[in-house]
Chain A
Amino acid sequence: MSNAQNIEKQRLPLAPYRVLDLTDESGVFCTKILAALGADVIKIEPPGGDPTRRIGPFYHDDPDPGKSLHWFTYNLNKKSITLNLERASGRELFQRLARTAHFIVECFRPGHLDALGLGYPEVNAINPGIVFTSITPWGSTGPHSKSKGSNLVVSAASGFLHLCGDEDGPPVQIATPMAYVQTGLEAAAATMVAHTCRQRTGRGQHVDVSAQESLMGQIVPPILWRRSLHLVPYRTRMGALARGRPVLMDLFPTRDGWVVCHTTYDRGRKPLREWLAGEGMAGDLFDKKWDAIFLEAAVVSREEKEHIDDLFRAFAARHTKDELMWGAQERGIQIAKVNGVEDVMNDAHLRERDYFVSVEHPELGGSILYAGAPFKSDGMAWRYSRRAPFVGEHNAEIYGKELGLSTEDMVALKEGGVI
């Protein structure tokens, strides 16, 4: 089937639903997902534009709030209206919009919207079907609920950060905001749970998402090591460990970059030993003293680990990343290239599956590539078709056509700093 036919047949499952998007960078991935599934997501920006428009990097490095690649990436498909919630007439407009919405997703400090009379209880009173998702660093209630968060701070509080980095160095982050991405993802999943429930009961509810707990989802095994096995996890450059020093589990330099090798004893280590032997590079690995390491999960000393890893290091240095990865696949060994962003962007698999999405930005005279859909199906679609909106680009459509405000009303609201 051709792509065009496919798109014709496919259906966006959330197309009938409207989302009022009051997120910031800590939760915006949630509404991006809802927009990818076809929801009518209306980003509500304060007059003058949303603060996330100032987040870099920028298109052609021009730090113009109209050219934020952060804004572009996270607001695909969405509409934008401006609205000042600090003004009474702004709040009134919000309430009118809330009656038309199926979801509200917000990232304000707990209590902020309640103080404005726009919290879940108030919206629920006028629209009992609403699914109202609050994404905060620590959750809506509790002793830390009013504390501030950031991606790094939440990563620290979740236990994730302490387990990333060298054993003898400081904990270190991932360069992309993983806490925010993971939180947005889990928030979208919980929001969809509440939506599914609403389809049966007709009633919405409040969905209270904690970023701290979201990133804890990453460290399920270390949490168990501690709580159930009474081991003390510690960070290494090969991830968190709790006992022993696994051999042949590390990152190794090759002729043209790095690979990661991740073997477990019988699957992986044994065929790897054979592979080294085939090129005369197995050293003393067939000595009986090493059998335990290749046949079971033996714990070794630092010296023993270095001895075995050095043999593989010498082998890896003679090969390319691709030779090692595909050779390992044939032999049932887990080795992969350590790709950089450029490698990912040029990956043959992703190209063949048409993974990246090119979205037109007519005003910039070109298009930009974005991450695509996580799945393929002839039924439903996950699709990006419209660039992120300009500030208030849809004011006329929403306020004028839909809410029926006259041009004079809108001028008055604009002059009053409401929209």
Chain B
Amino acid sequence: MNGRIPIGSDALSGIRIIDFGFGAIDPLATSFLADFGAEAIKVESFSTMDFIRRAEYYVDGNRDPDRNPLFSRYNQNKLGVLINLKQPKGVTLAKRLVGIADVVTENFSVDVIHRLGLGYDGLRKIKPDVIMLSASFGGQTGPYRGFRGQGFIMHALEGIDDLTGWPDQPPMSPAVAFGDHYLPWMWAIVILAALEYRRQTGKGQFIDGSSFEGCLDTLDTAIADYSANGRALTRRGNRHPAAAPHGVYRCQGDNRWCAVTVFTDEEWRSLFTMIDRTWARDKRLSTLLRRVEHADELDRLMEEWTSGQQALDLSLRLQQAGIPAAVAETVQDLDEDPQLLHRDHFWKSTERGMEAFTFEAPSARLSSTPARFQRPGPLLGEHNDYVFFDLLGMDPAEYAQLVEEGVIG
């Protein structure tokens, strides 16, 4: 796979990113841009490879760091080179790469990039209009500067655990490390905005990104509500202040559930027509406010009705009646979801040893320049030849020397 990488006519063709990142956030951000054709080159070395290569995700017990499906997914469509940044010559080589880059991203702990000699002030001397995004937990200043916190730590501090679950029970974590799978798009937006800024001004910039701060839009109106009304929103089960019924209701079978939300009077009429026309005469249920007030009772009535029914069939009948509803799909269900099949959501690789891996399309279909699957996440050093020979014009003797010295490797 060391062949020439063709120059495409994708949305982001011609944009080159040097990515020193690891984990989930930074890799997924540049991978999203690579899905649309940016050339994202991931820099690792044998001694400091992305730790995700070692995450417990091996297929059939194969612990090969080149055969980790999570790494491959988080880095889909990117290229990979090996540069040992612990050697001075490695830093020099990395700087040559920066010289041909539009964007540099990194998420080391604060100060590491400076200790390595790859701080922004040095890089701008090599490439005056380079855009550098340093994304750390708390940013470059403040009490959380240098704070080490992965995803589950982050969403607890952000208030998300407090907002998840039931009002009469302790807080809980959401399904996944929320920020890890939210911030990638935020940083992608910021990088594209910085490219626009460069187009207008000819200038690059250093961007101090804070994961902690970058996620706080997820608090929705809770910030303004606290500020204006002194009220602190907390978890509320599956309730909604302006809809009832609004819940996830048990259906036939093991762990099968259907989400149903009734906002408008029209939806309410459709619902009681399906379930029980006598509800129409029930004064407790005659207005939205009353229905919200009697949400407990409504939930009980709903579950009486849903529990004997098959979730998928129920959701389709509710939708036919104009009521927003859906099966709480398991990840198994997603495999057969006709809408996802229609949109070709899942991408497959035919590379040897990666047939079982899963890759995914971004959530947006662009009509002229759609995202496309070009390659799984890179093997260690998979694109050394392309990057060092074709992009940097290195001669084979120098390459051999650098490999010999462990600078490339």
Residues on A lying within 8 angstroms of B by beta carbon are 11, 13-14, 16, 29, 33, 37, 55-57, 59-61, 69-70, 72-73, 120, 133, 138-145, 147-150, 152-166, 169-178, 181-183, 185-190, 192-197, 199-200, 203, 205-214, 216-229, 232-233, 235, 237-240, 249, 251, 253, 258-260, 262, 297, 329, 332, 334-345, 347-350, 352-353, 355-356, 368-380, 382
Contact = CB atoms under 8 A, between A and B. Distances in A.
B42 to A, nearest CB: 17
Contact of B257 (A170, A222, A350): A170
Interface in B242-286: 242-243, 246-248, 250, 255, 257-261, 263
Interface in B190-241: 190, 192-197, 199-201, 203-210, 212-214, 216-229, 231-238, 240-241
B240 A368 contact: no
A334 B14 contact: no
Given A171-B257, A176-B218, A73 B369 contact: no
A249 B257 CA distance: 27
A213 B178 contact: no
Contacts of B235: 174-175
Contacts of B85: none
A137 to B, nearest CB: 8
A337 B157 contact: yes
Contacts of A197: 11-12, 36, 366, 368-369
7 contacts: A171-B328, A192-B188, A217-B184, A225-B331, A262-B152, A336-B154, A337-B157
B27 to A, nearest CB: 11
A376 B208 contact: yes
Nearest to B241: A56
B175 A160 contact: yes
Contacts of B357: 228
Contacts of B141: 352-353
Given A170-B238, A219-B176, A374-B210, A210 B229 contact: no
A55 to B, nearest CB: 7
Is the contact region of chain B dominated by helix, strand, or loop, or is it mixed?
mixed
Interface residues of B, number: 152
Nearest to B369: A197
Given A56-B241, A161-B328, A212-B340, 13 more contacts: A141-B342, A142-B338, A173-B164, A177-B220, A186-B363, A205-B369, A208-B364, A239-B175, A260-B156, A337-B157, A345-B232, A352-B141, A374-B186
Contact of A220 (B181, B209, B234): B181
A371 B216 contact: yes
Nearest to B261: A150
A340 B154 CA distance: 13
Given A212-B339, A353-B142, A183 B363 contact: yes
B385 interface: no
A262 B150 contact: yes
Contacts of B154: 336
Is the contact region of chain A dominated by helix, strand, or loop, or is it mixed?
mixed
Given A138-B339, A210-B343, A189 B188 contact: yes
B104 interface: no
Given A193-B192, A220-B360, A371 B217 contact: yes
Contacts of A342: 226, 232
B205 A139 contact: no
Contacts, number: 495
B362 interface: yes
Contacts of A170: 238, 248, 250, 257
Given A157-B329, A297-B56, A376-B208, A196 B11 contact: yes
A156 B326 contact: yes
Contact of B366 (A207, A213, A353): A207
Given A176-B222, A222-B176, A196 B248 contact: no
B207 to A, nearest CB: 5
Nearest to B194: A380
Contact of A378 (B70, B205, B220, B368): B205
Contacts of A33: 189
Most chain B CB within a 10 A radius of its CB, from A142, A160, A213: A213
B348 to A, nearest CB: 10
Nearest to B361: A213
Interface stretch (B86-94, B165-173, B388-396, B398-406): B165-173
A83 B332 CA distance: 45
Contacts of B218: 176, 178, 181
Contact of B326 (A55, A140, A153, A186): A153
Given A156-B327, A194-B366, A145 B228 contact: no
A345 B363 contact: no
B217 to A, nearest CB: 5
Contacts of B366: 190, 193-194, 197, 205-208
